[in-house]
Structures are given as C-alpha cells and as structure tokens.
C-alpha cells in the first residue's frame, strides 16, 4: 500500500509477466494510427537500455544515502526498473517481428547512453536520469488520467503492460530526483540537464520514428499518412497541460511531488491489482 505522504511511499517491484503471441497484435496497434504506432514502438525500444542507465546512475550513489525511507525507495526503484526493462524487451521482440526496427533503436539508444557516461560525470548522469524520469512520469500519469490516451491502446496486452508500467513510473517518479538532491546535486546542473535532454529527447523521437515509418509500406499511402500526421497536435500527450507539467521541471525549487498523484495511484492500483484487479492473473 502507498501512504498519503509521497516521501514515505513504498516503492516495490511487482513480479509480473506479459505475453504477446504471434497474431495477437494488429500491425498498427495504437488504434490503427500509423504514426503513433511507430512512435510508441520507438519509445518502447528505448526502455531496456534506458532503464539500465537509470539503474546504474542511481546505484552509483546508493551508498551515500543515509535516509532509511529513501534507501528503501532506491531498492524498489531498481527492482521496478529491472522488471520494466525485461518486459519491454519481450514486447520489442514482438514488435520487431511485426516489422518495427526495435533492435536498431535499442542499439542506437545504448550507444547514446554509453556516450553520456563517457562524456559526463556520474552526478550529471544522475541529473539526466532525474530529467528523463520526469518525462516518463508525466506521460505515465497522462495515460492513467486521460481516457483518450487509454482508448488509443484498445484492449491489447500492450495496453495492460503500459498501464502497469505507468503505475510504477508514477510510484517512483521522485526517487532519482531525491537521490540527486541528497548527494548535493545543484539546481543549476539539474535545470541545464533537463534543457539539454529536452532537445535531444524530442529530436530522437522525430528522427527515429521517421526512419521507422520509412520502412512501413503504409507510409506511402498519402491519404493515410496525412490523416495520421494531422492527428498529432490533438494527441492527449501533447496538450497544454502536459506541456506545462514538463516545463515545470526547469523552475527553481521544483519537486516531482508538487503534483499530487495519490488518488490516481490508489484508483489504478485497485483497478489492476486489487481483489478483482484486471492484471492479478499476470502476477507471479
């Protein structure tokens, strides 16, 4: 159970597993949308290496944490992220079979993150992790709170997996941030890390999703492509509210828990993992 005080929230990994048998997903599995199917496939492809980078960045400072609540949350954070990476690898293999270049995107992500570790200090890598965790938490809570976002994913196993992932990202959204602050990370470094990551993050999505689309025969249907591109500005993940939440990170004094997600987590934890939860049969 989560407490109402985010600083004392229990963060624990769930033993869970999803399956994507052949033929279980439509080619364009995000509500038939061409572009969004490629965008989500690319983002999924970045998670395994991304989660490993997050774990390494936080683990380097684990011995410096003295607060017992935060030490416990770090253990839960690591357990959750390791599980996320494993489950996204399984999804990515299924997407690769469907024609999405997830293996290539995985390799590109690994090289980029290894480059960060060569170029930047461990503290800056931790600041990068905290910034990227903010992105994932904002998008996760958008999925959990906006019915339009949930509708895009239909009733597939992908929807189930992303809802589970969204809950856990929302649970541990402040852990890397709090570790960064606890080990003396400055506001200046934190804000500049976000400004750099914001540019590279969206650039990577556009470039890699475009490369993915070029390998899809449906992209060359001009009517379908134009309709899909025209729908992007109306995406629930690009609303002004979402943009404001992302931008709030660069304000001095920001903290992830400035936005209360307690009720959201309580609702979805009961919905998915309560007595009659829809994902209890996925727990091991």
User: What does the pLDDT read at residue 241?
Assistant: 95
pTM: 0.94
Burial class (CB in 10 A: 0-12, 13-18, 19+), 32: middle
In 3-state terms, what secondary structure has residue 13? Answer: coil
* Residues of the chain scoring pLDDT < 50: 1-3
Q: pLDDT tens digits, residue range 112-159?
A: 999 999 999 999 999 999 999 999 999 999 999 999 999 998 888 999
The whole-chain average pLDDT of the chain stands at 95
User: What does the pLDDT read at residue 77?
Assistant: 97
DSSP string for residues in 52-107 = HHHHHHHHTTGGG---HHHHHHHHHHHHHHHHHHHHHHHHHHHHHHTT--HHHHHH
CA distance 196 to 188: 12
């Amino acid at each position: 159970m989560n407490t109402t005080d985010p600083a004392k929230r229990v963060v624990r990994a769930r033993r869970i597993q999803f399956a994507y048998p052949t033929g279980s997903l439509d080619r364009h599995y995000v509500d038939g949308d061409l572009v969004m199917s490629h965008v989500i496939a690319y983002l999924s492809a970045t998670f395994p290496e991304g989660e490993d980078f997050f774990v390494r960045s936080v683990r380097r400072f684990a011995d410096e944490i003295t607060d017992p609540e935060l030490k416990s949350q770090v253990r839960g954070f690591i357990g959750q992220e390791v599980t996320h990476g494993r489950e996204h690898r399984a999804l990515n293999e299924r997407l690769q079979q469907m024609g999405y270049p997830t293996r290539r995107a995985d390799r590109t992500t690994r090289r980029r993150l290894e480059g960060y570790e060569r170029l930047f200090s461990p503290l800056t890598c931790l600041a990068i992790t905290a910034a990227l965790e903010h992105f994932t938490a904002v998008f996760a809570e958008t999925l959990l709170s906006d019915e339009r976002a949930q509708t895009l994913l239909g009733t597939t196993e992908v929807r189930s997996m992303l809802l589970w992932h969204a809950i856990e990202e929302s649970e541990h959204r402040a852990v890397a941030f709090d570790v960064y602050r606890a080990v003396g990370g400055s506001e200046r470094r934190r804000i500049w890390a976000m400004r750099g990551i914001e540019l590279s993050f969206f650039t990577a999505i556009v470039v890699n999703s475009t490369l993915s689309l070029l390998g899809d025969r449906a992209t060359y249907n001009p009517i379908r492509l134009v309709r899909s591109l025209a729908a992007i500005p109306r995406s629930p993940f690009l609303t002004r509210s979402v943009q404001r939440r992302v931008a709030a990170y660069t304000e001095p004094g920001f903290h992830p828990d400035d936005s209360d997600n307690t009720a959201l987590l309580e609702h979805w934890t009961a919905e998915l993992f309560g007595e009659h939860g829809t994902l209890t049969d996925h727990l091991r």
